Amino acid sequence: MNASTSATPKLYHPKMPATWWLKHPAYFLFMMRELSSVFIALFLVVFLIQIYQLTRGPEAYAAVMRRLGSPGWISFHVVALLFALYHSLTWFTLTSKVQVVRVRGKEVPPSLVTGANIGVWLVLSLVILVVFLVA
């Protein structure tokens, strides 16, 4: 036995490739869900810029809206909307799994909780639309 061997053996740690999430559909969808937060944040930056135009007058606002009407920007925002919808639906499904809801001691089935969340979401969306249109 070699007298210079260390007391603890060196362990082999296999390196996880950065592309691990491409190896399985479930991993890919997970990464898409994470990516949705990027698109949501980017839209909100655009929205902030739009709101800022309100201080610069109607022409400036209209000019920004014309720019956002380009095929590139519309494509970006359609993709962003799809990601936002994916975030919403996965969020509602997840929260119903994570938070057990009890009514009179009986557990409410998660699908019902998810459905209720979706219902609230649809109502809120309608409220946003109506408030904007009647302003």
Partner 1 sequence: MTTRKSSEPFWWGLFSAGGVVAAFLVPMHLFLHSIAVPLGWISAEVAYAKMQALVGHPVIKIYLFVLIALPFYHWAHRFRFTLYDLGLKSLRTPIAILCYGGAVLGTVATVWILLRV
Containing 121, the helix (H) or strand (E) segment is: helix 110-134
Closest CA to 29 of 115, 100, 87: 87
Asked if 100 is part of the footprint of partner 1 (rule: CB under 8 A), the reply reads: no
Task: Name the segment binding partner 1 (CB under 8 A); options: 4-12, 80-88, 108-116.
Answer: 80-88
Tokens of 52: 């800022």
Among 18, 25, 26, 72, binds partner 1 (CB under 8 A): 18
Q: In angstroms, give the least distance from the CB of 4 to partner 1.
A: 30
Exposed e or buried b per residue across 13-34, where buried means at least 16 C-beta atoms within 10 angstroms of its C-beta: eeeeeeeeeeeeeeeeeeeebe
Among 29, 37, 107, 111, binds partner 1 (CB under 8 A): 37
Tokens of 72: 């590139």
Asked if 22 is part of the footprint of partner 1 (rule: CB under 8 A), the reply reads: no
In the chain, the DSSP E strands lie at: 102-103, 106-107
Q: Which residues bind partner 1 (CB under 8 A)?
A: 16, 18, 21, 31, 34-35, 37-38, 40-41, 43-48, 50-52, 54-55, 58, 61-62, 65-66, 68-69, 73-74, 77-78, 80-81, 84-85, 87-88, 91-92, 120-121, 124-125, 128-129, 131-133, 135
